[in-house]
């Protein structure tokens, strides 16, 4: 799948529809047109991109083709001891240690040589500064060594495009939930517009920080371990529920549960499982509410969940229930694609590159703040036009 261009050739009251896969930046030649026939030869090779993701505690390298085929997608996660988060400097050191082995692994698994790669894509932002810098530097070096163009990619948009290609969702309302972002998004007029978002911390950050209070393991992730513990919860504890129009706030919920958790546990008023269960139910209900409101506003029945928190089965269940009540559909993926990975960067960068977009070497920088709606999604624009 991908953007397609439809041309019509009319002759003798007959219409012939011809489907040309993009990118049309590759040479195509109309050789001949005869009665009732249109002969088009499209000279286009199978495009391949190498992508680098390193905006947080995961470093990933992916090789992807323009049709969304993932040739390889290895990654490595920086895991800290229970009760601790990950700091930018140590995370960057982790990425430096693992990025070259990951590149070699990706090429070997895909059985691809650098000569077969069309472009190099990397996460420009948003994310943590020091980890982002690792991918930016590596892509600059490889660009000069291999003589390949660079494409800077927005991390949030990459999550959306990976979700679309994997699930087949065409034009959904998107709930993007991760450790650093919480946004309700929909496409309109060349950009992914943000209809609602957190006004303070992300939902994933809220869950991760509470996992530290309980000193849960960070392996494979604190959010996953909260999810598993929440399945054992039986008592629902009232927590602040903060929805402001289309926006949400999680900092007050976190402060409240942090302040009361120790005392409640000490007095045997509840269990850690009860606290995890209550926190999940509350914050996920808030997300369902604003997502449903966006569905009504955009007049759509399709929802796509992306980002690391999107792996949470309870969130998916709650969103699926809401969708079914509205006659809609939920599109979601597992941790292979929800969690940060290099393939999503490669694929999104390749979409942009196929439509004539690239990044000059001197502009291949990184930024910690890079909003979803800053990106001109030219591939979606062409898709909508057809």
DSSP 177-217: E-SS-EEEEEEETTEEEEEEEBSSS-HHHHHHHHHHHTT--
Tell me, rounded to whole angstroms, the distance of Cα 86 from its chain centroid. 20
- pLDDT value for 383: 85
Cis peptide bond N-terminal to 126, omega within 30 = yes
- pLDDT value for 366: 97
What single DSSP character describes residue 258? H
Which domains does the chain carry? 4-42 (no CATH), 48-161+339-385 (3.30.420.40), 169-337 (3.30.420.40)
- pLDDT value for 12: 31
Half-sphere exposure of 145 (CA within 13 A, CB side): 9
Spell out, as residue ranges, where the chain has pLDDT lower than 50.
Answer: 1-44
CA distance 367 to 343: 20
Half-sphere exposure of 25 (CA within 13 A, CB side): 15
CA distance 302 to 193: 16
Selection from 333, 306, 303, 308 nearest residue 319 by Cα: 303
CA distance 264 to 103: 48
CA distance 185 to 141: 34
- pLDDT value for 4: 30
- pLDDT value for 385: 76
Q: How many CB atoms lie within 10 A of CB 45?
A: 9
Q: C-alpha angle 316/381/116, rounded to 5°? A: 85
Burial class of residue 358 (count of CB atoms within 10 Å of its CB; 0-12, 13-18, 19+): middle
């Amino acid at each position: 799948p991908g953007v397609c261009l439809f041309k019509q050739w009319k002759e003798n009251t007959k219409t012939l529809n011809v489907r040309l896969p993009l990118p049309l930046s590759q040479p195509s030649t109309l050789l001949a047109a005869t009665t009732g026939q249109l002969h088009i030869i499209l000279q286009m090779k199978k495009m391949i991109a190498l992508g680098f993701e390193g905006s947080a505690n995961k470093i990933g390298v992916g090789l992807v083709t323009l049709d969304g085929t993932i040739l390889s997608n290895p990654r490595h996660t920086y895991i800290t001891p229970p009760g601790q988060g990950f700091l930018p400097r140590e995370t960057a050191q982790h990425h430096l240690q693992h990025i070259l082995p990951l590149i070699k692994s990706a090429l070997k698994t895909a059985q691809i040589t650098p000569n077969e790669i069309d472009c190099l894509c990397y996460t420009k932002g948003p994310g943590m500064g020091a980890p982002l810098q690792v991918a930016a530097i590596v892509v600059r070096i490889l660009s000069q060594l291999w003589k390949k163009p660079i494409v800077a990619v927005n991390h949030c948009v990459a999550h959306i495009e990976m979700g679309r290609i994997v699930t087949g969702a065409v034009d959904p309302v998107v709930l993007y939930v991760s450790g650093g972002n919480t946004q309700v998004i929909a496409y309109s007029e060349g950009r992914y517009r943000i209809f609602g978002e957190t006004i303070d911390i992300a939902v994933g950050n809220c869950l991760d920080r509470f996992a530290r209070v309980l000193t849960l393991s960070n392996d494979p992730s604190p959010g996953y371990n909260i999810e598993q513990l929440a399945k054992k919860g039986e008592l629902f504890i009232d927590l602040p529920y903060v929805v402001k129009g289309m926006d949400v706030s999680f900092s007050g919920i976190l402060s409240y549960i942090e302040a009361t958790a120790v005392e409640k546990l000490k007095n045997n008023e509840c269990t850690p499982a009860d606290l995890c269960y209550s926190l999940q139910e509350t914050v996920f209900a808030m997300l369902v509410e604003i997502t449903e409101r966006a569905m009504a506003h955009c007049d759509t029945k399709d929802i796509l969940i992306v980002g690391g928190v999107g792996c949470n089965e309870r969130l998916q269940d709650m969103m699926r229930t809401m969708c079914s009540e509205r006659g809609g559909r939920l599109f979601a993926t597992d941790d292979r694609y929800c969690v940060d990975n290099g393939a999503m960067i490669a694929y999104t960068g390749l979409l942009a590159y196929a439509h004539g977009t690239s990044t000059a070497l001197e502009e291949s920088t990184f930024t910690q703040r890079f909003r979803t709606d800053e990106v001109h999604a030219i591939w979606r624009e062409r898709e909508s036009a057809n």
